[in-house]
A and B are shown apart, each in its own frame.
Chain A
Amino acid sequence: MQQNKNIDIKPLEFNNTWGYAPAPESAEPANIKPRYELFIGGKFIEPEKCEYFNSINPATEEVLSEIARADIADVDKAVKAARHAYDTIWSKTPGKIRAKYLYRIARMLQERAREFAITETLDGGKPIKESKDFDVPTAINWFFYYAGWADKLEYAAPGKTPKPIGVAGQIIPWNFPIMMAAWKIAPALAAGNCVVLKPAETTSLTALKLAELIQDAGLPPGVVNIVTGEGATGAAIVNHPDINKIAFTGSTRVGKLIQKSIAGTGKKLTLELGGKGANIVFDDAPIDQAVEGVINAIYFNQGHVCCAGSRLFVQENIADLFIAKLKERLKTLRIGDPMDKNTDIGAINSARQLETITDYINKGISEGGVMYQDSCATPEKGYWCKPTIFTNVAQSATIVQEEIFGPVLAVQTFRTIAEVIEKANNSYYGLSAGVWTDKGSKIFEVANRLEAGVVWANSFNKFDAASPFGGVKESGIGREGGLHGLLAYLNL
């Protein structure tokens, strides 16, 4: 246990002696087309009204491509294509054949991993090392995992005869586009359903590339349909009468709207919504590893993570030292060109999200919080937010209560286990939490009393296709991943 003495640490200096030369990944393999149409019935077709919107690179503000805007008529076409494919082909396709398609998609995604990673980074602003080492491999992991279930459904629900639900409408967010597409499509297809999927309007490109890949894989037309557009397109999916299930990942506000609109329709529902994860550091924690864990928990993907550890609770007797170490650590985080292999913090996903984050930071300051950012420079063009730490805040502060979805950490202190559990649970969210202590018994005690769908011990942001993920309270309904994620696409 470290003592809270000598807290005025002597600061270190970085990056003046030996700098890293730029190491940008080439954008060429992304091979982005100037325009993308809707993927319906196995073909790319123009939208009825011929309307398109731009997809922007948030790091440069340059237009990458034009994306088709689907309206109610287009969504209807997509649902009809899905229903037709379900009735005539997919519901009669044996599990081992469905598995074959899923394995094929997984392998083709492996082959084209670089193209997908680069596209993801250009379109969404996240660092290339994250899209290359996390997003795309996790997406592949999901296809492989659920391919394995496709011919074993009777073992998923022993004593029952599981049947597919039919046509699923799936709406995914902009923070992990290709990964979220995989999380939605893989279990749905393994269980024998057909889908209509809508990616977020700022990050449609990798889903559309997945559509091309699915076409190349020879998946029967209409099994997967991808319609692009904004909220209105999503609403058209939610309200379509011939959809049997809605799977949505996004904000709690929209999640509530969806729940209201499908009430009484008999549509099944899974929601993966917002979070305000409590990351708890005890005085007997491995301090330097906990510092890394806290940094990873809040600044991974610029904080655009529903399970981000955005509320840090540090035991009061080590708080000064711990916060000093966190601030020192910000000096070696590299913010800038997301295509550079050495970039740790990329661009904020959109101008609108940057505005939201900036509003929260201003509110944090006006409510009396003490804001800290490192003095590093950010590029002139594009949307950027430096890693931010707020101290002098309490549970009553807006930035402690509400999900910011940006690189903003709110730090509070605590004295006892009882106190920190009470504070951590004092939130309408309940998605994730972290516990940092060297003491095994404490991990179990705290983890069992936290109201969160997932609790990580001495680690953060660990995912596997075999492990269910989801929230309690206003963070969601249902689970994705593992057996639980499969059952959500079956009628038992």
Chain B
Amino acid sequence: MIFNTPPIDYVGVQERCAKFTTRSIKSDSKMQALKLALNMIDLTTLEGLDTPGKVKQMCLKAANPHSSASDLPTVAAVCVYPAHVRTAKQALQNTGIKVASVATAFPSGQTALSIKLDDTKFAVGEGADEIDMVISRGEFLRGNLNYVFDEIAAVKAVCGISKLKVILETGELATLDNVRKASEIAIEAGADFIKTSTGKIQPAATMPVTLVMLETIRDYYYKTGIKIGMKPAGGISNAKLALHYLVMLNETLGDAWMNNELFRFGASSLANDLLRQIIKQKTGLYQSGNYFSLD
């Protein structure tokens, strides 16, 4: 497969991103965006020390983000390791909240394809609604693009009805040209979503990287009419930054993407800052961190 990707000019991308951050979001429009952002979160815990107890508590928070506001949406999904999918699934019964599982030897992806496929099958078998796979960055960087394509296609084939999110780990791809190329490969190979980062590598999601990925999605839609989802993950920890991302989404892909079917934030601490801002919009007062649960 040959990809004729257009070159990306880093300075131009940065300038465009800076313009998104100057939009002034006030009153009703701010409240709507804060709630929408909350509803787009994949609440995430991906630690070696995760236990069923920890995952259950996070699921409770996902379904009931804050006790004092009754009109709040839930988050979109929780994101856990395969070993915790069953626990999460049970804890989230009848909530409508999806369970996403990382797979394919997350986060480095440095193992054999057969093991990655087993990893994926296990997560799907445990009930994962969504699979967050990692691409083989090593193969990509040594120029083995066909391997990367085939691997994504193979994982997609064992996902069944579960949605596939493909993590590019843009912090390791180094250039926006690579981000564009990897995005095209992932989309053509069957990704339902493309995702920036594992959260284990710095930098994680940035606005320039996300814009290049959104523009790849846009070009694919222009050509085919097919809508691919986007998930920036890692590094989006406060409401203000989340609103900048929503402005970027709103002015790049527009109406059809302004929902959690097609856009997610991979984040853990973002939820509490959104809640704090929502309460502030309602009451006019900022509350201390102690008023927001740390589950």
Q: A residues engaging B (CB < 8 A)? A: 1-3, 6, 9-10, 12-23, 129, 133, 284-290, 292-293, 324, 331-332, 341-342, 438, 458-459
Chosen A-B contacts, 20 in total, with CB atoms closer than 8 Å, are A1-B4, A2-B6, A10-B221, A10-B223, A10-B225, A14-B255, A18-B36, A18-B246, A19-B29, A20-B23, A20-B24, A21-B25, A21-B29, A23-B24, A289-B9, A289-B13, A289-B16, A331-B254, A341-B23, A438-B9
Nearest chain B CB to A108 CB, angstrom units: 26
Mask for B193-231, Cβ within 8 A of A = 1, else 0? Answer: 000000000000000000000010010011111000000
Whether B57 sits at the interface, judged by CB under 8 Å, is: no
Q: Give the docked Cα–Cα distance between A289 and B18 (Å).
A: 13
- Top 10 closest A-B pairs, CB basis? A289-B12, A23-B24, A9-B222, A286-B9, A438-B7, A21-B29, A14-B254, A341-B24, A17-B258, A289-B9
Instruction: From A14, A129, A292, A438, give the contact of B250 (CB < 8 A).
Output: A14
> With A18-B36, A292-B15, A341-B24 in contact, do A13 and B256 touch (Cβ < 8 Å)?
yes
Q: Which of A10, A18, A292 contacts B12 (CB 8 A)?
A: A292
Q: For the complex, is B163 an interface residue (Cβ under 8 Å from A)? A: no
B interface residues, tally (CB under 8 Å): 37
Q: B4 touches which one: A2, A22, A288, A289 (CB < 8 A)? A: A2
Option from A23, A284, A332, A458 in Cβ contact (under 8 Å) with B26 = A23
Most chain A beta-carbon neighbours within 10 Å: one of B36, B223, B224, B253: B223
If A285-B7, A286-B6, A341-B22 touch, whether A20 touches B29 (CB-CB below 8 Å) is yes
Which residues of chain A are near B29, meaning CB under 8 Å?
A: 18-21
The secondary-structure label for the interface of chain B is: helix
**Measured between alpha carbons, how far is A342 from B28 in the docked complex, in Å?**
15
**Residue B47 lies at the interface, judged by CB distance under 8 Å to chain A:** no
Which residue of A is nearest B221, CB measured?
A10
Interface pair B24/A10, CB less than 8 Å apart:
no
Interface residues of B (CB under 8 A from A): 4, 6-9, 11-13, 15-16, 22-30, 32-33, 36, 215, 218, 221-225, 246, 250-251, 253-256, 258
Quick one: given A292-B12, A342-B24, are A21 and B30 in contact (CB under 8 Å)?
A: yes
Residues of A near B11 (CB, < 8 A) are: 289, 458-459
CA distance A459 to B14 in the complex (A): 12
Q: Is the CB of B251 within 8 A of A14?
A: yes
Give the residue of B28, B224, B251 whose beta carbon is less than 8 angstroms from that of A21: B28
Which chain B positions have C-beta within 8 A of A458?
Answer: 9, 11-12
From A6, A133, A332, A341, B223 is in contact (CB under 8 Å) with A6
The CA of A284 and the CA of B8, in the complex, are separated in Å by 10
User: Residue A20 contacts which of B25, B215, B218, B222 (CB distance < 8 angstroms)?
Assistant: B25
- A286 adjacent to B12 (CB under 8 Å): yes
With a cutoff of 8 Å between Cβ atoms, the chain B residues found around residue A286 in the complex are 6-9, 12
Distance in Å from the Cβ of B207 to the closest Cβ of chain A?
14
Contacts of A19 in B (CB 8 A): 29
Complexed CA–CA distance, A17 and B24 (Å)? 17
| With A292-B16, A342-B24 already in contact, 17 other A-B pairs whose C-beta atoms are closer than 8 Å | A1-B4, A2-B6, A14-B250, A18-B36, A21-B26, A21-B27, A21-B28, A129-B22, A133-B22, A285-B7, A287-B6, A332-B251, A341-B22, A341-B23, A341-B24, A342-B23, A458-B11
Chain B residues near A133: list those with CB within 8 A.
22
Chain A residues in 8 Å Cβ range of B254:
12-15, 17, 331-332
User: What A residues does B253 contact at CB under 8 A?
Assistant: 12
- In contact, A1 and B6 (Cβ under 8 angstroms): yes
Among B25, B27, B28, B224, chain A packs the most CB atoms within 10 A around the CB of B25
The listed residue (B7, B12, B24) touching A293 by CB distance below 8 A is B12
B4 contact set on A, CB distance < 8 A: 1-3
Instruction: Please report the C-alpha to C-alpha distance between residue A342 and residue B27 in the assembled complex, in whole angstroms.
Output: 14
Cross-interface CB contact of A18 among B16, B24, B32, B218, cutoff 8 Å: B32
Q: Chain A residues near B255 (CB, 8 Å)?
A: 12-17
Q: Which chain B residue shows the least CB distance to A2?
A: B6
Distance in Å from the Cβ of A380 to the closest Cβ of chain B? 23
CA distance A18 to B251 in the complex (A): 10
Which residues on A sit within 8 Å (CB–CB) of B25? 20-21, 23
For the complex, give the distance between the alpha carbons of A19 and B246 in Å: 11
Instruction: Point out the residues of chain B lying under 8 angstroms from A341, CB to CB.
Output: 22-24
Identify the interface centre among A6, A21, A289: most chain B CB within 10 Å of its CB: A289
Shortest Cβ gap from A331 to chain B (Å): 8
CA distance A287 to B253 in the complex (A): 17
- Bound form: Cα–Cα A461–B166 in Å: 38
Asked, given contacts A10-B222, A14-B255, A293-B12, whether A288 binds B24 with beta carbons under 8 Å apart, the answer is no
Q: Which residues of A contact B9 (CB under 8 A)?
A: 286, 289, 438, 458
Instruction: List the A residue with the shortest CB-CB distance to B214.
Output: A288
The minimal Cβ–Cβ distance linking B158 to chain A, given in whole angstroms, is 30
Residues of B contacting A1 with CB < 8 Å?
4, 6
CA separation between A438 and B4, bound complex, in Å?
A: 14
Alpha-carbon gap, A134 to B253, bound state (A):
28
Q: Is the CB of A12 within 8 A of B218?
A: yes
CA distance A16 to B28 in the complex (A): 15
Least CB distance from B215 to A in Å reads: 5
Inter-chain CA distance A292–B15, complex, in Å, is 9
The CA-CA distance from A1 to B32 in the complex, in Å, is 40
Q: Are B12's CB and A284's CB within 8 A?
A: no
User: In the bound complex, what is the Cα–Cα distance between A9 and B222 (angstroms)?
Assistant: 5
Chain B min CB distance to A429 (Å): 26
Complex CA gap A285/B16 in Å reads 16
A228 to B33, CA, bound (A): 48
A332 to B222, CA, bound (A): 16
A9 to B220, CA, bound (A): 10
Residue ID in chain A nearest B5 by CB atoms: A2
Provide the residues of chain A in CB contact with B8, threshold 8 Å: 286, 288-289
Alpha-carbon distance A169/B32, docked complex (angstroms): 55
Of the listed residues A2, A18, A342, the one surrounded by the most CB atoms of chain B closer than 10 A to its CB is A18
Give the CA-CA distance A459 to B246 in the complex, in Å: 26
Which of chain A's residues have a CB closer than 8 A to the CB of B22? 129, 133, 341
A20 to B244 Cα, complex, angstroms: 13
Q: In the complex, what's the smallest C-beta–C-beta distance from A32 to chain B, in angstroms?
A: 24
> Which residues of A sit under 8 angstroms from B215, Cβ to Cβ?
288
Cα A49 to Cα B120 with chains together (Å): 88
- Complex Cα gap A21–B25 (Å): 7
B138 to A: closest C-beta gap in Å: 26
Give Cα distance in the complex from A9 to B226, angstroms.
Answer: 12
The residues of A that contact B224 with a CB separation of less than 8 Å are: 10
A15 CA to B253 CA, complexed, in Å: 11
State whether A459 and B12 are in contact (beta carbons under 8 Å apart), knowing that A284-B7, A288-B6 are contacts in the complex. Answer: yes
Which of A3, A15, A17, A284 has the most chain B CB atoms closer than 10 A to its own CB?
A: A17
Q: Shortest CB–CB separation between residue A464 and chain B, in angstroms?
A: 15
Chain B residues near A21 (CB, 8 Å)?
A: 25-30
State A38–B20 Cα separation when bound (angstroms): 42
| Chain B residue at minimum C-beta to C-beta distance from A292 | B16
Complex-state Cα separation, A324 to B218, whole angstroms: 13
In the assembled complex, the Cα of A290 lies from the Cα of B11 at a distance in Å of 11
